[in-house]
Amino acid sequence: EVQLVESGGGLVKPGGSLRLSCAASGFTFSSYSMNWVRQAPGKGLEWISYISKSGSVKDADSVKGRFVISRDNDKNELFLQMNSLRAEDTATYYCVREILVGTPIWAFDIWGQGTMVTVSS
Amino acid sequence: DIQMTQSPSSLSASLGDRVTITCRASQSIDTNLNWYQQKPGKAPELLIYAASTLQTGAPSRFSGSGSGTEFTLTISSLQREDLATYYCQQSYSTLITFGQGTRLDIK
């Protein structure tokens, strides 16, 4: 079964750091680009970070310079290092697989169950 | 950034109704438009990609259309299990953006 399982969420104080992990299984992880998408409580979806198969990255302006996406293709894991956390970073964070569905059109076809991050003093 | 605007933000419909949700992009995105369904308490799921192609396993009562800046998601006959929030998403730009969501309730 194709699966993504996030971990590492929790309560952290403003200015603190947290590292999220995502374990992939059931597919060849190294063959896919991956993303992090977050959702604040009661709000919509916000894409925040992308990493290609080979490790090139893109970030949304809202997290640029504070969050770092990375991957370990040998261990089938995706990571999100979150630094200088703010109250507005409070959200459920989803690990998401990206697939090519057209030329060139991409979509997010597999989502993890999410891990909750709360930034509060 | 490309802005995605959905309408309505919420709607209530009866079982068996035909439901249409609209998504507009702030610039042309060709057919680089995907739709996701998020049921209460669950992660989103891909419903339609490339504006009009139904994801494997998605019910055939769902359909998508459009290109350029205007897109629609249609449910031909609303079922109880369609209670969810629906999001459009553009992948034309390297900076991915979602619409704000349309919450669909059953009357």
| Residue pLDDT, tens place only, A75-93 | 999 999 999 999 999 999 9
Within chain B, which residues score under 50 in pLDDT? none
**B89 to chain A: which residues are within 8 Å by CB?**
45, 47, 107-108
Q: Which residue of A has its CA nearest to B9?
A: A44
**A58 to chain B: which residues are within 8 Å by CB?**
94-95
Query: Is the Cβ–Cβ distance between A67 and A82 less than 8 Å?
Result: yes
**B95 to chain A: which residues are within 8 Å by CB?**
47, 58, 60
Place of tokens 């989502």: A111
A116 touches chain B (CB under 8 A): no
Burial status of residue B96 (CB atoms within 10 A of its CB: 0-12, 13-18, 19 or more):
buried
| Residue pLDDT, tens place only, A112-121 | 999 999 999 9
Place of tokens 């990206």: A98
* Nearest by CB: B87 against A44, A105, A114: A44
How many Å apart are CA A79 and CA A4, to the nearest integer? Answer: 12
**Could you tell me the two tokens for B68?**
């350029």
